[in-house]
Amino acid sequence: MKYKNQYHNLVSSSKWSTMVRKRCTTLTLFFIIFLSLIAFGIFVPVFALLPSLSSHSLHHHQQQLLPATEKNHGYARKFEISDDKFWKDGQPFQIIGGDLHYFRVLPEYWEDRLLRAKALGLNTIQTYVPWNLHEPRAGTLDFEGIADLVSFLKLSQRLGILVMLRAGPYICAEWDSGGFPPWLFAINPAPRLRSSDPAFLQLVERWWGSLLPKVAPLLYGSGGPIIMVQIENEFGSYGDDKAYLHHLVSLARKHLGDDVILYTTDGGSRETLEKGTIRGDAVFSAVDFTTGDNPWPIFELQKEFNAPGKSPPLSSEFYTGWLTHWGEKNAQTSADFTAAALKNILERNGSAVLYMAHGGTNFGFYNGANTGSDESDYKPDLTSYDYDAPIRESGDVNNAKFKALRRVVEQYSSVSLPAVPSDNEKKAYGSINVTKSGNLFELIRYFDVVESDNPISMESMGQMFGFLLYVTKYTAKDNGGESIVSIPKVHDRAQVFISCPSEDGHEKPTYVGTLERWSNQPLTLPNTKCLSNISLLVLVENMGRLNYGPYIFDRKGILSPVYLDGRILRKWKMYLVPIINLNESPKINPIIQAVNSGVITMSAHKRLKQKSGNASKEPAFYAGYFYISKEDIIKDTFISLSGWGKGIVTINNFNIGRFWPLKGPQCNLYVPAPVLQNGKNVVVIFELESPNPELVVQLVDQPDFTCGPRKSNVHQL
């Protein structure tokens, strides 16, 4: 959406700033990091692949879809536009909807969140379809677990909720790469994304050729819940390639037929509508705009881009909150302000879709990122996608915004609203002591490695997410002086270490400094006396691909030569650090692999505390566990990483997401109950810098967005 570099500070006050909207693998990993520790005499895996979650046996809840011949007041089952209104089964219909993304909610909670949306008064759910989730590796499709789109749609149907489907192929969504699979970035020559480039269109045709036939039986006219399908997303804010848009329309019609309403969404300005819409009655042009704007002049402008009588006023993204980047103050907006803006649309028979009704969570490595003035002005999104939405990240509805919006919706709903469900109970499971089970550099012998004269991007090596370790050697200066290392283009954050063999043959890397995409400065390497060449180690973290703007072709890793005192360093080894993503499944038994690998080297009797005086920042793995009684009902919780630095946390092999309390504002990560189990629960932390000195984490019953340095603005890292 229309992203401004000056995003106003949205805080609770009597004066509300205007919100402006910018919002918008893959080769198979051949191996797994298996760190293990012996704690209390029991082996536990320290890192393993995430098994796909079940869709909570949704099929047994689902009823047969209604036949297309069903009659309602003498009309065939049909959703259409005429007389500048939406019509459902021959009756005028006002869309009161909200975005709720199935891929940000565990399948076990889909029904819970949809029922809360109904209690808010919503009659329609809008969701994106992220291509990268469903085709993580080229030609390998995934529609199971959290990617089980069809089950989500059928569940919506059973609950009496209509669906607006945002099929992409580009979605924005504050989601990695706007939904584009990262394996696209390994293709050479690179396809031009969001364009009529034949190489790109061929890939889109293949993807939609798989996706659209799955959803076609679920269109409203066929008895399903889908009333509209979106083409692309806010294309007018990106380009003006009409041939590309027309090709998408032809593809959609080929698979979905001529009856379904296709729509575009663009910012409510003449420029974006001119570039992003298809005039006439083939595609309905919807708009989004600043929540504080007067919507009605924009709805009048919308009419110019739709055929006469085919322009019901629709804000297809009505912003209930805002996104937050690491290092910003957590975005919040006034409940009363938001409710008043919604009332201004609904009271004159306009339609609106709340963005977001329920935000959810960017589990795994799927968070997106934005830019400001240029490509290096990089702003990665939080793990939480709470969005200050009326249905909070953990599903809570006992808040001022939910109540205020529900009061407005209740005035204009054609049916009585369901009772509001209680918030799900949370539980503080308490402290968990963890053990260091090995540092990254001790484990690289277990990683796959690629050798090249020059550094290679992550995608080119099949490492689509997470981390890549680049290693080369250089000769120390004869005079023992310092050297300067620089990496002009690193995406996104690189920790630099040097090491050389000691007399006993051991190498212990020494931390030198960190290069960051948004503040990249050369580093001084200290004078090191070494028996042989010095090793230079660069651990690069992919912190999330850009999801909006002109730089969405966002390769990761070291993307330029590495210079030592102005001389290019060559002969690199690149170690693939195989931390799994959200919907990846193990190919081998992690416990057997851990035992066979010989990585298990520590026991509870040798448990070592991190000494606070140790200044070296060492990437390492830590593991611990806690028990839930077999008699207890498992509850949601939050894992607090207070006192830790930056990294990734998994529970029971589920990638909960990134933590960075030093930067803030997110202190605690949401842990849904379905991740947990009765009995032993294993927590694994990959800490990049400095762990909590006490080697402890807490499971608490509340979210917390107060970490990091306090800042007066909300957009600068």
Enumerate residues 6+ apart whose C-beta is below 8 A from 622: 434, 435, 436, 437, 684, 685, 687, 691, 695
Q: What angle do CA 559, 555, 548 make, to 5 degrees?
A: 135
Annotated catalytic residue: which of 80, 174, 232, 234?
A: 234
SS (H, E, C) 26-87: CCCCCCCCCCEEEECCEEEECCCCCCCCCCCCHHHHCCCCCCCCCEECCEECCEEEECCEEE
Three-class secondary structure of residue 543 per DSSP: coil
Q: Which residues, at least 6 apart from 613, have a Cβ–Cβ distance to it below 8 Å?
A: none
**Residues with Cβ within 8 Å of residue 343, at least 6 apart in sequence:** 408, 411
Which residue type is seen at 506?
Answer: H
- Return the residue matching tokens 């989500």: 152
Residues 6+ apart with CB under 8 A from 31: 446, 447, 448, 576, 578
From 108, 135, 174, 317, active-site residue: 317
* Euclidean distance between CA atoms 177 and 132, whole angstroms: 8
Measured N-to-C along each axis, helices 242-256 and 198-215 cross at an angle, to the nearest 10 degrees, of: 30
Question: How far apart are alpha carbons 173 and 434 in whole angstroms?
Answer: 35
Which segments within 376-434 are labelled E, that is strand? 378-380, 430-433
Token couple for 93: 């219909």
Among residues 129, 196, 142, the alpha carbon closest in space to that of 26 is found at 142
Beta bridge partners of 385: none
Closest CA relative to residue 38, chosen from 675, 599, 692, 453? 599
Sequence-distant (6+) residues with CB within 8 A of 139 are none
- The yes-or-no answer on residue 317 being catalytic is yes
Angstrom distances, CA of residue 65 to CA of 72, 77, 78, 364: 15, 12, 14, 34
Q: Which residues of 400-417 are buried (b: 16+ CB within 10 A; e: fewer)?
A: ebbebbbebbeebbeeee
- Cβ atoms of 366 and 175 closer than 8 Å: yes
CA atoms within 13 A on the CB side of 593: 18
Q: Annotate 292-335 with DSSP letters as a single string.
A: TS-HHHHHHHHHTTS-TT----EEEEEESS---BTTSPPP---H
Backbone angles phi, psi at 287, to 5 degrees: -130, 155
Q: Which of 473, 500, 443 is nearest to 619 (CA)?
A: 443
> Cα–Cα distances in Å, from 47 out to 577, 589, 599, 674?
11, 12, 12, 19
Separation between Cα atoms, residue 641 and residue 667, nearest integer Å: 6
Residue 542 carries which side chain, given as an amino acid letter? N
Note whether 408 and 352 are within 8 A (CB). Answer: no
Evaluate the omega torsion of the peptide bond into residue 191 and state whether it is cis, within 30 degrees of 0: no
Is-catalytic flag, 393? no
Angle between helices 295-303 and 335-346 (to 10 degrees): 40
Residues classed as catalytic = 234, 317
